[in-house]
């Protein structure tokens, strides 16, 4: 999707700190937004999703925030651990469509 | 990843040769997809299938064809490989439209065209 200056391709985080990963999406008509985690040599793995009629959703150690006004999505990871080091992608999809559209990804590195 | 396997995992091929990548699922999901992943890009959709013999193009379909003769197998063919098709290819399956529910990715095939 297009960048509005909020997306960073890399993020370095101290172990135990909270991480915030940002994503600017492109399609205001998307119904669902999803965060994926991709570890080296593996395919993307589902983390959490949020419907377009919500602005916040919490999971285990993760929270997704959606701001439709500025078409911005964020993923917050609490108490970041070494196992959280990965590339994180946001994706969007419509209810009556099959196809995910991905953002460029953010590489998160956790410092011990 | 459970329920979805890609083969081969790695392949090196020469420019101009045909290449076929295979995606096999054991989940009986209706929808299957081929994506490619390149540095600086997220995953981009090449082709997808919404049933046996039902396929359609994604955003980067030029130079690729697909076939789905059985529910469990989705083949991606590069008729004449080019260096621009060097990439990591991911297959994915999903059980329904919309949302991220049941959207599962394979482990990828790293293809190098020399």
pLDDT tens digit sequence for B74-90? 999 999 999 999 999 99
Residue B71 pLDDT greater than 70, yes or no: yes
Average pLDDT, chain A: 89
Tens-place pLDDT, residues A27-71: 888 888 999 999 998 999 999 999 999 999 999 999 999 999 999
Cis peptide before A31 (omega within 30 of 0): no
Chain B: nearest CA to A104, how far in angstroms? Answer: 4
- Nearest CA-CA distance, residue A14 and chain B, Å: 24
Look at residue B55 and tell me whether its pLDDT is greater than 70: yes
- pLDDT at position A78 is 97
Q: Residue A2 — pLDDT band, cuts 50, 70, 90? A: very low
Q: Do A43 and B41 touch (CB under 8 A)?
A: no
Give the separation between CA B82 and CA B99, rounded to whole angstroms: 34
Residue A108 pLDDT: 96
- What is the pLDDT at residue A4? 31
Mutate which of A99, A105, A106, A107 to disrupt the B interface (most B C-beta within 10 Å)?
A99
Say what the pLDDT of residue B100 is: 53
pLDDT of B6 reads 97
Q: Strand, coil or helix: what is B85?
A: helix
The mean pLDDT of A101-107, rounded to a whole number, is: 89
Q: Are A8 and A65 in contact (CB under 8 A)?
A: no
Q: What percent of chain A has pLDDT over 70?
A: 93
Taking the C-alpha atoms of residue B106 and residue A16, their distance in angstroms, rounded to an integer, is: 31
Q: Do A99 and B108 touch (CB under 8 A)?
A: no
Secondary structure in 3-state letters for chain A: CCCCCCCCCEEEEECCCCEEEEEECCCCCCCEEEEEEECCCCCCEEEEEEECCCCEEECCCEEEEEECCCCEEEEEECCCCHHHCEEEEEEEECCCCCCCEECCCEEEEEEC
Q: State how far the alpha carbon of A83 is from the alpha carbons of A7, A35, A39, in Å.
A: 22, 16, 9
The answer to whether B60 contacts chain A (CB < 8 Å) is no
Mutant choice from B2, B3, B100 vs A, greatest count of A C-beta within 10 A: B100
Q: Do B42 and A102 touch (CB under 8 A)?
A: yes
* Ramachandran bin of B3, using left for φ above 0, alpha for ψ from -120 to 50, beta for the remaining angles: left
Of A42, A95, A102, the CB nearest to B98: A95
């Amino acid at each position: 999707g297009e960048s509005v200056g909020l997306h960073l391709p890399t993020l370095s985080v101290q172990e135990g700190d909270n991480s915030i990963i940002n994503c600017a999406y492109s399609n205001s008509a998307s119904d669902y937004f999803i965060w994926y985690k991709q570890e080296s040599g593996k395919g993307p793995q589902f983390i959490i999703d949020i419907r377009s009629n919500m602005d916040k959703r919490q999971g285990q150690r993760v929270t997704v925030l959606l701001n439709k006004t500025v078409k911005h999505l964020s993923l917050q990871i609490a108490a970041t651990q070494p196992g959280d080091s990965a590339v994180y992608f946001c994706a969007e999809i419509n209810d009556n469509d099959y196809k995910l559209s991905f953002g460029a990804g953010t590489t998160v590195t956790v410092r011990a | 990843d459970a329920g979805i396997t890609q083969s081969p995992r790695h392949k090196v091929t020469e420019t101009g040769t045909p290449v076929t990548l295979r995606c096999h699922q054991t989940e009986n999901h209706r929808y299957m997809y081929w994506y490619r992943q390149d540095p600086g890009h997220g995953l981009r959709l090449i082709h997808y299938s919404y049933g046996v013999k039902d396929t359609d193009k994604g955003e980067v379909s030029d130079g690729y064809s697909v076939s789905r003769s059985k529910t469990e197998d989705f083949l991606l063919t590069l008729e004449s490989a080019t260096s621009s098709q060097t990439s990591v290819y991911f297959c994915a399956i999903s059980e329904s439209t919309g949302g991220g529910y049941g959207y599962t990715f394979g482990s990828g095939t790293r293809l190098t065209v020399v």
